[in-house]
Amino acid sequence: MLRLAPEGLAAAADKFGPRDALSGAAWKVFEEEFTRAAALAAADAQEIAASGRFRAAVAWQNRGVLDSAIRPFLNWSPETAGRTFKQRQREELVAHYWQRFCVKNDTIGFFGPVGWGAFDTARPGVTVEPGSGPTASSEVFWSSWSVDALAREIDADPAVRPWTAPRRVPYVRLEENAVRIPARPPRPVPPETLRLLRLCDGTRSVPALQRELGPDTDVPALLDELVRLRWITWRLEVPADIRPDRRLRAALERIGEPGPRAAALARMDELESAVEGVRAAAEDPERLVAALTAVEQTFQRVTEAAAKREKSTTTAPGRAVVYSDSRRAARVTLGGDVLAALAPLDLLMSAAAWLSGALAARVSERVTEVYERLRADAGPGRPVDLAAFWFACMPVLHGAAVADAAELQAEFERRWQRVLPDTEGVRRVTVAGADIAGRVAEVFGPAAAPGWSAARYISPDVMIAAPDAAAVARGEFGLVLGELHLAANTLGNELFVNQHPDPRELFERTDRDHPAPRLMPLLPKEHKSRLSARIRHALVRPQDYQVALLDNTADPHRDRTVPSADAVVERREGRLCVVLPDGAVFPAVEVFAHVLTTLVTDRFRLLPEADHSPRVTVDRMTVARETWRFAGSALAFADDKSEARRFVRARQWRDTHELPRFVFVVSPTEPRPFFVDFDSPVYVNILAKAARRLARKDPDAQLTVTEMLPTPEQAWLTDDQGHRYSSELRLVAVTD
């Protein structure tokens, strides 16, 4: 990252004070120096853009810019052609991608590989076994939406349809002689229809159903009617999985007629052959671009669908037909002193338990009122089925519960203000964990039972701040808390489980955490709230129950998958419970587990939003980084037309507010946080552009600026060539 900050330019710029006129002979000399330095920085950006690994990484992200921006940028000579607006845009594009690849700790492809490590309390510090190169393995995966598109095209073949197993919609309840849909009166149906509906479990093809009902029943016609009534789905559905292509292939191999089966598999084989070209290309940018292009062309020909989804508010991440994930070659072992330095997490867990428990209590109280109303409406002796209960609770989950979560977060912050020393007007707050443990216990109360099973987990992202592993071994290190995800085991996500050397170990740890079966709501494959097959929770064991509420995305052959209409809600021993058809009983709050986790997972914040928040350190762990908030219009330097003046004025603005050299910036108009180095003209330009964009869209909206910690000099992780990497430790803690 530092190569895009021209040596000596910052010092030259700082010779001008806030009251100095940026004109005259001295200014002319600086402008000439700035022009030379900017040309050198542009040449460095060109060297970055020319590297094979950079172009391969961009190819995975958005290969269209390789031709539209990267190639023209490489063909440009800053010394002879000058730095035009278009070329500055292209340089900023390179810098934008570069900062994402280098310092964002994103788990994306070979430029964000996942590594696995362990604790060994008998060792000191941190031990790095670098392996060979940055990555040990890489794999190419199909996006679930692209496999679904292929399934739809195959399903359109009339010869395939009889072999597609219909499935009852999860919220359709079958009674003695009627069908009941939530919030609607029961609809009487003939016995033949009820019998067919009971057989529609996603495992029986039309010929199998015909054999069950006999030749006197026109099964296809009756299925068409049930589809029209929206009581069943009758389509080729691929269960949620990180390997949806394998799931689809297994379904196609069950087609009972050789001709349609061979034709369907041939389509898959054609696409799979194109994907093999991507795997073979590895990190060769030219071969990779050609292979990705071939995949998209083949996909369009085979499915007659667009090969890339447009970004929208309703689609999950993952717009391309295929994507890549990688495993880092290095393995890290953390010693006892690093584990001991994580001790402040105990205090944070105590506070987190209050937050999740309070939310669960409020939501439980609200949904209990819903249940009592439904029970009264149902009349004596009639059960309240889970489907009806779930739908009736929607206004709570998407209305009152959201407000409850925001209110509890504000209260959470107020309570931390009672725990910590006064933070007003200070830049550093440093406390000993032992000194505040009593106040944490007093303010947040005794440890309460988690509100739902997943609430036992917290998942902190922790960074080690040290120049190298030797410094950690000497005890010369600090820890920095990045994010603290509540009520979730983030390492249970498919992208991590799939890249663990032995996933059985993760399931064994899950058994230790949850000795008894769990009730887990089935989720849609994709959702705008960051849900996709790649981050789907994968640590689901055979003994766990899954309840299908709206979507039934599980394998229909899996045992212990229950449609919501087949479960009932009851009061037992003073609490609301869900009773499954086999008699298993679970707290009703478990049905709302994903919604509750979504509401609370990112609400761990110690300090309320303010114009300035100090760095807070407990023992050796920084639990909140120093943060500033500014309206976009407050960055007056952003509107300066001269790059040189903009750079100087940006540094003066930075000095006025005592900002560090390296920061991350979050803007409401930008898709994700971005890095800024105030010694680098290109990153100052990126910041200025973001400020202008925000000021135009909403003059009152604010940029959030947070210190970069650890700093680039504290990148301790190295590979076998001595290259240094930004990294974070993704950890999971669970309460007993």
Who contacts 393 (Cβ-Cβ below 8 Å, separation ≥6)?
366, 367, 370, 592
Q: Which of 42, 49, 103 is nearest to 685 (CA)?
A: 42
Q: Which of 453, 454, 436, 445 is nearest to 347 (CA)?
A: 436
Answer yes or no: are the C-beta atoms of 479 and 464 closer than 8 Å: yes
Going by DSSP bridges, is the β-strand pair 187-188/702-707 parallel, antiparallel, or unpaired? unpaired
C-alpha to C-alpha distance for 493 and 500, rounded to whole angstroms: 11
Q: What are phi and psi of 578, to 5 degrees?
A: -105, 130
Q: Which of 185, 311, 208, 324 is nearest to 255 (CA)?
A: 208
Going by DSSP bridges, is the β-strand pair 545-548/519-521 parallel, antiparallel, or unpaired? parallel
Mean pLDDT (the chain) is 93
Q: What is the mean pLDDT of each run of 10 residues along the chain (736 residues)?
A: 94 94 94 94 95 96 94 86 84 96 91 93 93 93 94 95 96 95 93 96 96 95 97 95 95 96 96 96 94 95 75 54 94 95 95 94 96 93 94 96 96 96 94 97 84 94 96 95 95 93 96 97 76 86 96 92 97 94 96 94 94 97 98 95 96 97 96 95 97 95 97 94 94 91
Answer yes or no: are the C-beta atoms of 139 and 109 closer than 8 Å: no
Who contacts 413 (Cβ-Cβ below 8 Å, separation ≥6)?
605, 606, 607, 608
Judged on CB neighbours under 10 Å (0-12, 13-18, 19+), 458 is buried
Q: Does the model's pTM come out above 0.85?
A: yes
Going by DSSP bridges, is the β-strand pair 173-174/702-707 parallel, antiparallel, or unpaired? unpaired
Who contacts 431 (Cβ-Cβ below 8 Å, separation ≥6)?
420, 421, 616, 617, 618
Q: Which of 53, 533, 64, 553 is nearest to 318 (CA)?
A: 533
Going by DSSP bridges, is the β-strand pair 662-666/674-677 parallel, antiparallel, or unpaired? antiparallel
Give, for 217, the enclosing helix (H) or strand (E): none
Query: In this structure, is the dihedral angle defined by the CA atoms of residues 555, 560, 565 and 566, taken in order, positive or negative?
Result: positive
Query: In this structure, is the dihedral angle defined by the CA atoms of residues 470, 473, 475 and 478, taken in order, positive or negative?
Result: positive
Answer yes or no: are the C-beta atoms of 468 and 374 closer than 8 Å: no
Helix axes 643-656, 681-697, angle to 10 degrees: 80
Answer yes or no: are the C-beta atoms of 334 and 462 closer than 8 Å: no
SS3 (DSSP) at 92:
helix
What is the structure's pLDDT at 533?
78
**Residue 565: CA atoms inside 13 Å, Cβ hemisphere, count?**
19
C-alpha to C-alpha distance for 701 and 697, rounded to whole angstroms: 8
C-alpha to C-alpha distance for 577 and 571, rounded to whole angstroms: 6
What is the structure's pLDDT at 535?
86
Q: Which of 285, 284, 327, 288 is nearest to 132 (CA)?
A: 327
CA 311 to chain centre: 16
Q: Which of 678, 692, 602 is nearest to 641 (CA)?
A: 692
Amino acid at 519: L
Q: Which of 130, 342, 151, 145 is nearest to 248 (CA)?
A: 151
Who contacts 568 (Cβ-Cβ below 8 Å, separation ≥6)?
383, 384, 385, 386, 578, 579
Helix axes 191-199, 206-213, angle to 10 degrees: 140
β-bridge mates for residue 635, sequence order? none
Other beta carbons within 10 angstroms of residue 653's beta carbon come to 19
C-alpha to C-alpha distance for 67 and 255, rounded to whole angstroms: 43
Answer yes or no: are the C-beta atoms of 478 and 512 closer than 8 Å: no
